[in-house]
Amino acid sequence: MQDPKEFMAKAQAQMDSWTAEMGKVQAKMMEAGAKGQAEMAKQMDSLNEQRKHAEAQMEELGKANMEAAKEMQASVQKMWTDMEAQMKEMQKKMMG
């Protein structure tokens, strides 16, 4: 298991990176027509929900004891993988 402080720092850096990428996609969304904006808005809403969930998990991880932290790290890592895949898919669609 990774040191909880290192893990939290890595998690926060990843969240910051995703937030920046989401901002880029949102700017691109504003350039799209109404149909494109509607599709992108759905995907952005989904990503925002995942991001909020990840932030909540990170907060819980910060409060967890060592055994619970191990379990939560696994959960957070799976969520990262899922969110990263969705982010890449959205980038392909929206950014070309």
pLDDT in tens, 30-81: 777 777 777 777 877 888 888 888 888 777 777 767 677 777 777 778 887 8
Q: Read off the pLDDT band of 5 (50, 70, 90).
A: confident
SS3 of residue 36 by DSSP: helix
Distance of CA 87 to the CA centre of its chain: 8
Q: Answer whether residue 96 shows pLDDT above 70.
A: no
Domain ranges of the chain: 38-96
HSE (CB half, 13 Å, CA atoms) of 42? Answer: 6
Task: Between 65 and 27, name the one with better pLDDT.
Answer: 27
